[in-house]
Amino acid sequence: MVKVKNKENVLAIIRKSDGTEKIIKGHNIITDNGDEYYARMVIGDTANISNPFYLRLGTGTNTPTKSDYDVTTFITGSDQQVDDTFPQRNYTNDGNSDGGVNVITYKITYAVGAVVATGISEGALVDSGTNPTKALNHFLFTTTFDLSSSDQLVVFVNHSFVGV
């Protein structure tokens, strides 16, 4: 049996205009649709979720569940497609301290000022930026954070596969 580790494997890196960085971790849950996606990929079957994925951010604080298909409370304008060369395996660059040999990493880069919001607390990788019907995962950050017009946000979503 293989399972995906779901504790503190999401990293939000907030880069301030003065050059400082703040890192916020998050707790991830792979949804039922995400479980099916990975199972299909392993056997070379047709994926049940469209790729490319989009990250949507929100302000909800409900505990993510296996049946989720989006964030609880979407922040308008926070939908961003996963970077072109992702997902990748064993990606440990750009501050992603949670990458590794048994880790699939999704990287999402927001331009400076792309999202201006307060109380960001959650995120989900979904099948559509505008009208999601399936989520690969849903996560809560360990603490809320704010983004100003001079901040850049980079989010790493790591799915660590571990044997049990």
Q: Is residue 8 included in any domain, yes or no?
A: yes
Name the residue range of residue 87's domain.
Answer: 2-159
Q: Is residue 30 included in any domain, yes or no?
A: yes
Burial class (CB within 10 angstroms; exposed 0-12, middle 13-18, buried 19+) of 15: middle
- The pLDDT, as a whole number, for residue 144 is 98
CA neighbours closer than 13 Å in the CB half-sphere of residue 60: 18
Q: What confidence tens digit (pLDDT) does each residue in 75-116 have? A: 999 999 999 999 999 999 998 988 889 899 999 999 999 999
- The pLDDT, as a whole number, for residue 135 is 97
Burial class (CB within 10 angstroms; exposed 0-12, middle 13-18, buried 19+) of 73: middle
Cβ atoms of 132 and 69 closer than 8 Å:
yes
Q: Is residue 140 included in any domain, yes or no?
A: yes
pTM for this model (two decimals)? 0.93
**Tally of structural domains, the chain:** 1
Q: Is residue 164 included in any domain, yes or no?
A: no
